[in-house]
Amino acid sequence: MKLLADITGEQFLQILEQDDDKVLVQFISNEGIGKGVPFKDSLKGLYLAGWTPRATSTAIGLHRFKQGMLEDAHVSFALHQLYPLGRKVKLPSGEVVRIASYANTHSDGYYMFVRLDGDEDLTRLKMSPNGS
């Protein structure tokens, strides 16, 4: 899996096909799920717009996570890159929380601690490849 990240490191493009400088890319979510319709562009144009290659280990980790490999150093690294401390994330409930700490990968999923802004209480949440 080849990935590009924007300047902020918060948006990702997956390179689906490549022929020299010509590429077919698609936006993907932090979980690696395709968003929108794939489109054609050039690597040169994407680089000029601020897109940069994402570390191979991040792509490997994301791919392994999607395959269900949870207790893996690449998975842990990738998810720490995609969900850095302090990042605000929107939960499926619609609630917006801030990532406060990690509990790392476990056999049944990836855990992180989050907190509501202004709240001192931490909540432990699980993220797994199947969305549970």
Of residues 20, 23, 28, 26, the one with CA closest to residue 40? 23
Tokens of 11: 């948006």
> What's the one-letter identity of residue 13?
L
CB distance 28 to 39 below 8 Å: no
Distances (CA, A) of 110 to 7, 49, 52, 123, 132: 26, 33, 26, 14, 10
Instruction: Supply the Cα-derived Rg of the chain in whole angstroms.
Output: 16
User: What's the confidence (pLDDT) of residue 49?
Assistant: 94
Check whether 106 has a pLDDT greater than 90: no
At 21, the pLDDT band (50, 70, 90 cuts) reads: very high
The single-letter DSSP state of residue 54 is: P
pTM above 0.75, yes or no: no
Q: Provide the sign of the torsion angle of the four alpha carbons 97, 103, 105, 109, taken in this order.
A: negative
Mean pLDDT of 5-28: 89
